[in-house]
Structure 1
């Protein structure tokens, strides 16, 4: 498992620090905001909380290109946003220490996606609520379909009690674009709950010049986590991109900025960033040269096409009828 510096913290103090860095109850590897384990005795509950230096550095260790491109999503921003941005923002929820997004209704279930490392088991997910701030919805997780580290994905369903809420969710649903080609230079959009310069963990977005695909056309690598701060202990299928993302963005959708299609899910990135990739001029050159930094120094997301391939195999082998039917519906069968 991952290694990190940690210290003991009383339960009361945890609440204070949690307000500062956005803690929840999910597991944390790569880009989830909190790694927590607990130990109890008869007199008190003690929590062990990693506090890496990265949380003290603002956004600099996460930044790609000349500027930090994360912008808070507000009602005013949504009023002026493109339809693609608005749908993606409204479909994005806070889930514990990470992010999740609404895919749609499949086989009667309201299905959402996040990372494997945010919901690595049913117990880590079924106690959560998906919080949609702009929809004013707080929905209980009531079904867990599974998690798959090779595509760093977990799928679950939320309980929707009213027809009005169901209608609201239908307007923001966005399934994975399983057959979408990923080409270098494709402009991207990310929206999530990353902690960098965001102590209150409000919803933030990135769609600056550098937030685009950097790997060659449909060039996907099964790669280890390059995060030097909080690395995961598994590999996942990846494409390279230049979006600014930080811990807490785990589970965020990767969106084609123009079409609004969900082309993948963020999972990790090199942290801290090398100063060489904190130059937009260098990144512009890198997009053409396809130098080694593409696969060592950027941000990385799992492509929707690989998710589709993987879930097709999972569905074919599934023995639980309800899960099988839901996955097949999600895949368009």
Structure 2
């Protein structure tokens, strides 16, 4: 979206040079390899309650317990080596029929899991984002099913910001509640990616989809973005953007 293009693949060398906020976002993010649907997505470590770590992704990435049982989660361990983990239990899931698109699941705790995630839990923003607020997103867009790769990429260009919302957005024949429009570049595989405040590093929303760009429906330009920031009635803020579910008042 927009004229800026600053989405880049992250390797160990780049990770060591990143800001503390960028590094924590990368380390809090997991690749979801769904063997049931032969597809991938993205998940984030959300919280710890008792002995369990809770993670969030989209419902269309992990729909139910049957899919959870067939998911391999790829993360980075403490020395930045790739490690694979298993989805354990579905705790809550909201599908499009519920006007939302998220799944909360656990990974069975162990010394290894505790060591990896104990200081990687993200903090949900305590106030709503404002139009124009700059974001960072990280995920596995355009990557392939491969549990042997943690091939994450990060987007933090000048167009990756909140355009409008939140509104209850009607998409085809369903409505998605609490949706904000983004100028962040995303693609298939980014589903479930966290949308983080660039200033605080707090989790604002999770990405769930994007408008289809074509010759007739061209991408927003940077100038167009700036001219229409915060205008919920500007159609192209919704028809040519990426979309995320704002989490600040959902308390997942």
State how 1:89-108 maps to structure 2 within 5 Å.
89-96=26-33, 97-108=40-51
Maintained 8 Å contact 2:51/2:109: no
Q: Quote the offset at 1:84 in angstroms.
A: 1.1
Q: What does the per-residue CA deviation read over 1:236-284, in whole Å, with 9 as the maximum and x for residues that have no partner? A: 220111000001100101100111000010011101253251x212222
Instruction: Classify the secondary structure of the residue corresponding to 2:137.
Output: strand
1:245 aligns with 2:195: no
Structure 1's consecutive aligned runs of 4 or more residues displaced over 4 angstroms after TM superposition are 196-201
| Equivalence for 1:153 | 102
Maintained 8 Å contact 2:6/2:156: yes
Q: TM-score, normalised by structure 1?
A: 0.65
Name the stretch that deviates more: 120-129 or 84-93: 120-129
In 2: Cα distance, 1:283 partner to 1:82 partner:
26
Q: TM-score, normalised by structure 2?
A: 0.84
Higher strand share: 2
Where do 5+ consecutive residues of structure 2 fail to align?
34-39
| Equivalence for 2:137 | 190
1:285 aligns with 2:227: yes
Q: What does the per-residue CA deviation read over 1:23-59, in whole Å, with 9 as the maximum and x for residues that have no partner? A: xxxxxxxxxxxxxxxxxxxxxxxxxxxxxxxxxxxxx
Equivalent of residue 236 in structure 1, options 172, 176, 180: 176
Q: Quote the offset at 1:306 in angstroms.
A: 4.0
Equivalent of residue 168 in structure 2, options 208, 215, 222: 222
Q: 1:259 to 1:198 in 2, by over 3 A?
A: farther
In 2: Cα distance, 1:76 partner to 1:201 partner:
14
In 1: Cα distance, 2:226 partner to 2:150 partner:
30
Higher helix share: 1
Where do 5+ consecutive residues of structure 1 fail to align?
1-63, 227-232, 312-333
Name the stretch that deviates more: 279-288 or 117-126: 279-288
Q: Which has the larger radius of gyration?
A: 1
State how 1:77-226 maps to structure 2 within 5 Å.
77-96=14-33, 97-133=40-76, 134=80, 136-149=82-95, 150-162=99-111, 164-177=112-125, 179-195=126-142, 202-215=151-164, 219-225=165-171
In 2: Cα distance, 1:214 partner to 1:188 partner:
11
In 1: Cα distance, 2:145 partner to 2:114 partner:
31
Equivalent of residue 300 in structure 1, options 240, 243, 246: 243
Maintained 8 Å contact 2:159/2:183: yes
1:65 aligns with 2:12: no
Q: RMSD between aligned alpha carbons?
A: 2.4
| Equivalence for 2:37 | none
Q: 1:239 to 1:124 in 2, by over 3 A?
A: same
